[in-house]
Amino acid sequence: MIRRIPIISTIIVLAAVATMIALGIWQLGRKTEKEALIARYEAAGEAGEPVVFPLSGKGEDVLFRRSQVACAGVTGIEAVSGTSATGQKGWVQRAKCAVSPDAIVTVDLGYTRDIAKPAFTGGTVSGVIAPGPRLVADPPVAGLQPMAKPDPGDLPNNHLAYAVQWFFFAATALVIYVLALRRRRG
pLDDT tens-digit series, residues 108-143? 999 999 888 998 998 999 999 998 889 999 999 989
d(CA 76, CA 116): 13
Which pairing describes strands 89-100 and 73-83: parallel, antiparallel, or unpaired? antiparallel
Nearest to 55 by CA among 3, 98, 113, 17: 98
Using one digit for the tens of pLDDT, what is the confidence trace for 25-67?
Answer: 999 999 999 999 888 888 877 776 888 888 876 777 788 889 9
What residues pair up with 69 in beta bridges, in sequence order? Answer: 125
What is the reported pTM? 0.74
Furthest-apart CA atoms within the chain: distance in Å = 87
Structural domain spans, the chain: 7-37+157-185, 65-149
